[in-house]
Amino acid sequence: MNLKVRLENIELQNPIITASGTFGYGKEFEELVDLNSLGGICIKGTTLKERDGNPMPRIFETRAGMLNAIGFQNVGVDRFIAEKYPYLKKLKTKTFVNMTANTIEEFGELAKKLDKLDGIAGIEINISCPNIKAGGINMGTDPGMAAAVVKKVKENTSHHVMVKLTPNVTDITKIAKAVEEAGANSISLINTLVGMAVDIELKKPKIANVIAGLSGPAIKPVALRLTWEVAKTVNIPIVAMGGIENYKDVLEFLIVGATAVQVGTANLYNPGVTMEILRDLKKYMIENNIEDINELRGTFKVK
C-alpha cells in the first residue's frame, strides 16, 4: 500500500498535513500525536517581527465551526529560527513554515531568512493580508499583487513555495493561475471565509476585532468547490483544506483533484484526529483494493 504523495520536488509519506494556526509549532501536540507519522506539519503564521496579536476575545465557536481573529500572534522569524526550528529539524515529518507580511518587501526579507534553513521542506505564503503600501488592498484578492509576492519570495529562496489562497474573491482561478505563472510550486486552499457574530444582549460583536475568519465543517462545501475549480485550472499540486474531520472528507478532496490535505480546526477539539484519519484511510484502501492513494486523485465524474 502506497500513501506517499509528491508536491513537485517534495515527497510526503502520506497526504495528511496539519494546518497552520491549529497545531502550534508541533511540539505542543507531541504527547497526543505521533508527529513522525504525519505527512507534514505547517507551523503557525510567522512574521518578520514578533506579534502579540489582536485583543480578546478573538475566538468564538459557531454551530458548525469557529470564528477566529488571532492576529498572527507569533514569536517572529528570528525567535522561530533560534527557539522552535531546532525541534522541528529533528522530526522525520516534513515541516512547512507559514509566513505572512504587510508589504511585498517584507515577504522577500522573510524568505531570505528562511532560505538558510535546510531542515524545512517548504514555505507556505499567506497572501490574505493587506498591503499597507498599496492602500490596504488585500494581496490575495489581486492577481497582479499575488503574483508579485510569489516572484519576490522566489527571488529570495530555493525552498518549495506553496501559496495559500483566500476564498473571499469573485474568481479564485484567476489568482491561482497568476501565482502558478509567477513560479509557485504548489497551491493550498482555502483560507478562512470572513464572518462575524453578535451579542444580542450587549448589541456588540462577540469578537473584539468585529470580523473574523470562519473555519471548520461549515466551510467544507465551499472548499470542495474551489478545490475542484482550481484543479481544473492549474498544473501544480494542490493542498486542500476546509472542514476536514475524517477520512471521508479527505477522500472527497483527493477525488476532486487535491494531492494532499491540511487538517485544521478539528485539531482543536479532537487532538488525535490526524491519527484517526490515517488509520481509517489505510483501512479504506485495504477494503477497496486500492494500492496507491494517488489513484484517487482527480477521479471526479460530473456525468
Structural domains of the chain, ranges and CATH numbers in brackets: 5-51+72-194+216-296 (3.20.20.70)
CA–CA distance, 19 with 221 (Å, rounded to integer): 18
Q: Work out the pLDDT band at 131, boundaries 50, 70, 90.
A: low
Q: Is the pLDDT of residue 132 over 60?
A: no
Give the residue-averaged pLDDT of 168-189.
Answer: 98
Residue 279: band (very low, low, confident or very high) from pLDDT cuts 50, 70, 90: very high
CA distance 70 to 215: 13
Q: Which three cell numbers stand for residue 138?
A: 488585500
Q: Which residues are known to be catalytic?
A: 129
* Residue 156: count of CB within 10 angstroms of its CB: 18
Going 101 to 106 to 111 to 116, the CA torsion angle's sign is negative
> Over the range 31-61, which residues count as b (16 or more CB within 10 Å of their CB) and which as e?
eebebeebbbbbbbbbbbeebeebeeebebe
| Per-residue model confidence (pLDDT) at position 170 | 96
Average pLDDT of span 155-165: 98
Q: Is the pLDDT of residue 270 over 70?
A: yes
Question: Cell digits for 184?
Answer: 509557485
Between vectors from CA 197 to CA 194 and to CA 203, what angle results, nearest 5°? 140
Average the pLDDT over 284-297 and give the result. Answer: 98
* Dihedral sign of CA atoms 270, 187, 21, 96 in order: positive
- For residues 118-144, average pLDDT: 84
Give the residue carrying C-alpha cell 468585529.
210
At 303 the pLDDT is: 84
pLDDT for position 68: 96
Residues whose CB falls within 8 Å of the CB of residue 213, separated by 6 or more in sequence, listed in order: 67, 68, 69, 191, 192, 193, 194, 195
Q: How high is the pLDDT of residue 134?
A: 63
Local confidence band at 135 (pLDDT 50, 70, 90 cut-offs): low
pLDDT class of 136 with cuts at 50, 70, 90: low
Confidence of residue 128 (pLDDT cuts 50, 70, 90): confident
Which residue type sits at 295? E
Average pLDDT over residues 99-117: 97
Mean pLDDT of the chain: 96
pLDDT at 289 over 80: yes
Give the pTM: 0.97
